[in-house]
Amino acid sequence: MDVLHAAGIRCAEALQAGPPCLETFWLSVTSLADPKSIFTVCFPLAYFLDRDVGVSVLWVGLLAEWLNVVSKWFLFGERPFWWVHESRLFEEQPVSVQQFPVSCETGPGHPSGHCMITGAALWPFVTALTALASRHSTSTAVRLSPFAAYALLLLAVGLSRVFVLAHFPHQVVGGILAGAALGWSLQARAPAARSLRFFACTSLALLLGAVALHRAMTAAGLDIDW
């Protein structure tokens, strides 16, 4: 893994060596793509445009958030900012990387939550926009434009996470693939017709399930809070 991690640090170094004007862009992208934006911005907007799409965004985002946390407990994953100092692989040839306020994230890093949750929750929204574009245009470019924007957005989010040393490239790729797969598989199963009680019970079940899993893993001798 050291070889993979070292290559990721070199990628971050190359990104940070780019034009200074891009620094503001990458920091803005990583801030706007924070998973909480799914619940505070994307869900209300989608719900306003179409109730079923809004419920799908909320449902997929909720499950993706839970699965991302649980996945990190099993997959762990180093954080680039901390790994650079702990590995001591760059003592003889130091890398020129810059720290940012969002660099020092704690907790496991694989897969990237920004990429996984954003990729999953936006899938229903992008699918709805694609269907809308297909009804109003016969142009292939127009019909594919929502998914093209979706792909470019996830690419930008992934690069921004590497830029700020929050994730290694392989963690970003894993997050993007997991997010797209979750969005594709869960959107058709969104319980749009269910009552508020169903969502409250589901949320409670997910919370209790996470707590129970956390305690079980701790009891088994796994330090998931390393």
- Confirm whether 170 is a catalytic residue: no
Contact 38, 57 (CB under 8 A): yes
Cis peptide before 111 (omega within 30 of 0): yes
| Angle between helical axes of 113-136 and 140-163 (0-180°, round to 10) | 170
Q: Which of 69, 140, 58 is nearest to 110 (CA)?
A: 69
- Confirm whether 114 is a catalytic residue: yes
Question: Does the CA dihedral 107-109-114-117 come out positive or negative?
Answer: negative
CA max distance for the chain: 61
Contact 149, 122 (CB under 8 A): no
Pick the catalytic residue from 114, 136, 170, 214: 114
Q: Which of 85, 123, 109, 95 is nearest to 173 (CA)?
A: 109
Pick the catalytic residue from 110, 136, 167, 214: 167
User: Which residues participate in catalysis according to the annotation?
Assistant: 114, 167
